[in-house]
Structure 1
Amino acid sequence: MAAKKQYLLVKQAEDYARAVIAGKIVACKWIRLACKRHLADKRASRKRDYPYKFDPALAEKVAKFLQLLPHTKGKWASKRQTIKLEPWQLFAVCVPFGWIRKKDRTRRYRTITVFVPRKNGKSIIGGGLGLYMFSADGEFGAEIYSGATTEKQAWEVFRPAKLMAERTPPLREHFGIDVNASSMIRMEDGSRFEPVIGKPGDGSSPSCAIVDEYHEHNDSTLFDTMETGMGAREQPLMLVITTAGSSIGGPCHQLIRDCERMLEGSIQRDDLWAMLYTIDEGDDWTSEEVLKKANPNYGVSISGDFLEARQREAMQSTAKQATFRTKHLNQWVGAKEAWMNMIKWQQQPERKTLSELEGRRCIIGLDLASKIDVAATLLLFPPAEGDPNWHLHGRYYLPEARVLEHVDSNSSRYMEFNALGLMSLTDGEVIDYEVIKDDLREFAGRFDLEQVAYDPWQATQLAQEMEAEGLTMVEVRQTVQNISEPMKELEKLVLEKKLAHGNCPVLTWMASNVVAKIDAKDNIYPNKERADNKIDGIVGAIMAISRAIRTEKEDEYVDTSFIGLL
């Protein structure tokens, strides 16, 4: 009887998963869940009606292929050494290739997301898998694209793959690969591997798209275009390899949130594989343990000394803290000099729906900013009996022409917000204020609308018209004197976990864009790093809070000047 074939690299990968689950290897919640998911799915695959099965031979094939490739930089490249995958890499990037559909043996996973801090071997993963999909995957006329928004970023994956091919003559000869200045071609079937900036050309049909550092993308245009172009392929693959970034609510952050929800089991995505290396909520970011937890290649491609030095710098400099936590701990901390603690922002209580809030006291902050840009109406519901939380709902407006004509880099994002029902695209070149007025009338009928705060710079005529209809319109000029205290109050509510904002993608994105301008008297004012970083929703919320706290102070005031006359 023939001995059972041993798949030693797959065994290393699964030993890693078991060690993570047993607590022998320090890892965050998401990695533990990913390991449990694989092993649980293997047990489930024994059932006849389970649609997938794991073929270790396919995973082993990918792992062996990658380990035949040479290093392209660093001490290993200087010694002409070939790649030796670490157990985490075997599990993260090779094991998903072993999962197939029982009915046709095509790949189960169509999107592989590897979320890992800098210097943890991303070029090996991206370049190596790109070469595999180009040459050894068995796809006739394969099209592999290393996609990015800039030429430099597109080459971050393609350059290592090109060097690997150039330094491996047997690979070129066996698969008939021609290496050109900016592409690789297989003449036998016309397969190609090349970097792409922006969208691939018309007629492109990617069999594999590699998106490196997705956090740098302002919108999901490239991702969506690649994915749409894969329709004719039998088993295409989208590979996303990225660190965290500063754009909370951007397409990368939304993808990572989908991965988290999938791992938690709140959404079902059988075609999504995700390995998310970061730290856990409540971890002390200044401890040594978090360095090992977030960086799986700790002591291999990134030294402990290097990480500890960066950590010490971050502990001594607030300016360097956000960069360290983003790039080396994979935490989303908002804008590069962000005002809002975005980790705390995501930990707020559950928000009541507008239907549940009907009849409640309500204050509106109206930020019209400009007729050709984003406008925001923020509904603030202060605490009520039995409910200590402040509830925040927003409606956002933009002229449709601005989106259709792609006037700024956020156009695709705005279309996504509109599809989710979070942003109204009004007809024409400028915002139709009638849409906003209709919404104000609706709110006045549904809630105990106490007042509407507005900045007279853009809204005087609208305010006069609504006041004539019986709404209480209150000027709140956007000066430091008017904005500083409520802005601090908004931050305080977040830190106290009392601001129920429902994780609205629009408001979350805007909150991450806010940079605090601080003067010598410790007054603060909301600002942004560039014009495309919209903050209108947060400005509207601050205006509403300014009236809420002003009203509370007025209610607490008691005039005692006549007491002596009694």
Structure 2
Amino acid sequence: MSLGYAERAHAYARRVVDGVEGAGLYEVLMCKRFFRDLARQGTPEFPYVLNDAKGERICQFIELLSHIKGEWAKPIYTDGVLSYAKIRLEDWQIFIEYNLFGWVHVVTGLRRFRRSYEEIARKNAKSTRVAGRKLYLCFADEEPGAHVYSAATTAKQAREVFDPAREMVLRDEEFRQRFGCTVGRYDITAPESASSFQILASEASTQDGLNVHGAVVDEVHAHKKRDLWDVIESADGSRSQPLISAITTAGKDMNGICYELRGITIKVLQQITTDETWFGVIFTIDKGDDWTDPKVWRKANPNIGISAKLDKLESACNRAKSTPSARGNFMTKHLNVWTNAGSAWMDMEKWNACENPDLKEEEFAGQKGYGGLDLAQKSDFAAKAKAFQRGPKWCVFVELYYNAHAVEESSNAHLPGWVEEGWVKVCEGNLTDFDVIAEDMRADCRMHEMAEIGFDPALAMYFAGKLVEEGLPMVEIQQRSLFFTQALLQVENLVLGGLLEHDGNPLLSWMVSNLVVRVSKFNELRSPTKDRDEDKIDGAIAILIALGRALLLAQDDSINQGFVQL
């Protein structure tokens, strides 16, 4: 007896978490989130429950639709009657749709998820599946006057989801009769319910007045501006359970709306931020994977062997190996790798496992400590880190400073909450007050035996000089790339080995998750950086300075490599 949709979704998630499915990191995190939510469903902190019937209904609906592309779309004649093969969802596809439509609010019964971000390599049947989802939202979601859109920067791209849906309806007379549909060139309408599914590809500024119940924004990586997404997202206010989906392959523009949505997804999956209405998954190979190894291709191609043909992937890989110009296309389109992105530094699951909420700085009063300072006055945070050794472990504390103007201008929706919870000190005006930081550093030296306080001279030279005159042990970093190459590896290894403790500061964790590593193609030296200006990393830099110097001295107290004692 075959399993039902709910059983298949649960079984798939278990295989992923158990390492049987061959999934990548973010697919694993998606499934771990699912099991965490199951364990807490219906609680005051998490007022959502999983409704199997609603989750299964969308899957059943999609599988009643006909294939319209490829080998599965050939006409079938039975006793002279024409028909077409029906869509058959794979387990990973069922899991996504089952989640999107199955989770509902425990009181209202309305859908939990209002946004989805789905990043996947080409040829994994995303347009076919999402076309079915949008037909469901338009005609079977019991929403009066449902307006659903397939949106993109061009009409041609907008049709990538709309045309499969249009063809599905044209091939199914029973569907048209059941929902009273009329199929046009640019829209599918149901006059009786006043519902419509249409393409949206005009300039965003002309699209005021939309009333969106559902939308798919296709290939978001190609959007040079964020206007279209913003207009659609702001047009669902009168709907009780809208669902707006972004689907895409990887791209190159780290400053665009797509990479922003990707970042939101990663932060939610890593439990850095919380948004219970956001669903997301990224199918891509992992850091350290050999991109030429077919064993890792499934991570980016969950439909491998079905719509993503292995022989075609092998051919594309061979071209990429022999032709450097083809490598970028293979990585982006077939392995879903952002080609201009840096490599994420930290395994955030391991970082989260190092959290000790009971850790207090007072425990280290009078003990030797090492400091790290990363200064900024305007748009970036200023950060001050302290590191203390306790047995084989290193314990770190970070204080963060920002100015009131920057807080008001920040696009980070979580920042006001972090300010209210006391995770950052806010200085009045539009500049961070270095005098406040200096006074805190003096207090550090009174409380602890601060052996050294490392700093990058870029902004701190004059500031540090004054503190040196007072007797504070300020130490300037030189040979910056050489220093950080070693520090990045050492601190990462501490986290991976469970030999670092932090107090769980969510703002610091956000910064750690933002840090990416750039490797010089000339000398293999590594530098900490970020992909986007909005992704602050100052707290992570302060930790690298403090621990980098502490670990260097721990190896040999006589070594002063990379520093000049002031």
Question: TM exceeds 0.5?
Answer: yes
Structure 2 match to 1:139: 143
Structure 2 match to 1:377: 383
For residues 544 and 511 of structure 1, the distance between their equivalents in structure 2, rounded to whole angstroms, comes to 16
Alignment of 1:513-528 (within 5 A): 514-517=517-520, 519-520=522-523, 523-526=525-528
Q: Which runs of 5+ in 1 are unaligned?
A: 1-5, 406-410, 559-566
Structure 1 match to 2:411: 412
Structure 2 match to 1:395: 400
Report the alpha carbon displacement of residue 303 of structure 1 after superposing the two structures with TM.
Answer: 1.2
For residues 217 and 447 of structure 2, the distance between their equivalents in structure 1, rounded to whole angstroms, comes to 46
Alignment of 1:463-542 (within 5 A): 463-467=464-468, 470-477=471-478, 481-495=479-493, 497=496, 498=499, 500=501, 504-512=508-516, 514-517=517-520, 519-520=522-523, 523-526=525-528, 536-542=538-544
Structure 1 match to 2:4: 11
Alignment of 1:227-266 (within 5 A): 230=236, 232-239=238-245, 241=247, 252-256=262-266, 258-259=268-269
For residues 139 and 418 of structure 2, the distance between their equivalents in structure 1, rounded to whole angstroms, comes to 40
For residues 396 and 556 of structure 2, the distance between their equivalents in structure 1, rounded to whole angstroms, comes to 22
Which residue identity does 1:458 align to in structure 2? Answer: L
Q: Which runs of 5+ in 2 are unaligned?
A: 76-82, 561-566
Report the alpha carbon displacement of residue 297 of structure 1 after superposing the two structures with TM.
Answer: 1.1
Which residue identity does 1:252 align to in structure 2? Answer: R
Moved more, 357-366 or 218-227: 218-227
Report the alpha carbon displacement of residue 474 of structure 1 after superposing the two structures with TM.
Answer: 2.9
Alignment of 1:408-447 (within 5 A): 411-413=410-412, 415-421=413-419, 426-441=427-442, 443-444=444-445, 446-447=447-448
Report the alpha carbon displacement of residue 350 of structure 1 after superposing the two structures with TM.
Answer: 0.7
Structure 2 match to 1:366: 373
Alignment of 1:539-558 (within 5 A): 539-545=541-547, 547-548=549-550, 551-552=553-554, 555-556=557-558
For residues 122 and 59 of structure 2, the distance between their equivalents in structure 1, rounded to whole angstroms, comes to 23
For residues 492 and 428 of structure 1, the distance between their equivalents in structure 2, rounded to whole angstroms, comes to 38
For residues 458 and 247 of structure 2, the distance between their equivalents in structure 1, rounded to whole angstroms, comes to 45
Report the alpha carbon displacement of residue 379 of structure 1 after superposing the two structures with TM.
Answer: 0.7
Report the alpha carbon displacement of residue 476 of structure 1 after superposing the two structures with TM.
Answer: 2.9
Asked if the contact 1:158–1:195 (Cα under 8 Å) also holds between the matched residues in 2, the reply is no
For residues 109 and 319 of structure 1, the distance between their equivalents in structure 2, rounded to whole angstroms, comes to 40
Alignment of 1:212-361 (within 5 A): 230=236, 232-239=238-245, 241=247, 252-256=262-266, 258-259=268-269, 288-292=294-298, 295-308=301-314, 336=340, 338=342, 341-343=345-347, 346=350, 350-352=354-356, 355-356=360-361, 358-359=364-365, 360-361=367-368
Report the alpha carbon displacement of residue 54 of structure 1 after superposing the two structures with TM.
Answer: 3.0
1:222–1:465 CA distance, 2 compared to 1 (3 A): farther
Structure 1 match to 2:166: 165
1:34–1:530 CA distance, 2 compared to 1 (3 A): closer
Structure 1 match to 2:130: 126
The SS at the match of 2:520 is strand
Structure 2 match to 1:563: none
Report the alpha carbon displacement of residue 256 of structure 1 after superposing the two structures with TM.
Answer: 4.5
For residues 147 and 426 of structure 1, the distance between their equivalents in structure 2, rounded to whole angstroms, comes to 43
For residues 175 and 304 of structure 1, the distance between their equivalents in structure 2, rounded to whole angstroms, comes to 41
Report the alpha carbon displacement of residue 458 of structure 1 after superposing the two structures with TM.
Answer: 2.5
Report the alpha carbon displacement of residue 91 of structure 1 after superposing the two structures with TM.
Answer: 1.9
1:437-484 CA distance string (max 9 Å, x none): 45435544554433333344433443344445553333335xxx2441
1:391–1:91 CA distance, 2 compared to 1 (3 A): same
1:15–1:235 CA distance, 2 compared to 1 (3 A): same
Structure 1 match to 2:78: none
1:98-130 CA distance string (max 9 Å, x none): 666787664465556656444321112223312
Report % sequence identity.
Answer: 26
Equivalent residue for 1:26, pick from 18, 21, 27? 21
Asked if the contact 1:31–1:275 (Cα under 8 Å) also holds between the matched residues in 2, the reply is yes
Moved more, 89-98 or 131-140: 89-98
Structure 2 match to 1:91: 94
For residues 368 and 306 of structure 2, the distance between their equivalents in structure 1, rounded to whole angstroms, comes to 58
Report the alpha carbon displacement of residue 137 of structure 1 after superposing the two structures with TM.
Answer: 2.1
TM-score by length of 2: 0.68
TM-score by length of 1: 0.68
Structure 2 match to 1:3: none
Asked if the contact 1:451–1:472 (Cα under 8 Å) also holds between the matched residues in 2, the reply is yes
Asked if the contact 1:517–1:526 (Cα under 8 Å) also holds between the matched residues in 2, the reply is no
Moved more, 314-323 or 547-556: 314-323
For residues 310 and 267 of structure 1, the distance between their equivalents in structure 2, rounded to whole angstroms, comes to 39
For residues 147 and 442 of structure 1, the distance between their equivalents in structure 2, rounded to whole angstroms, comes to 56
The SS at the match of 2:400 is strand
Root-mean-square deviation (CA, aligned residues, Å) is: 5.6
For residues 39 and 520 of structure 2, the distance between their equivalents in structure 1, rounded to whole angstroms, comes to 50
For residues 102 and 532 of structure 1, the distance between their equivalents in structure 2, rounded to whole angstroms, comes to 35
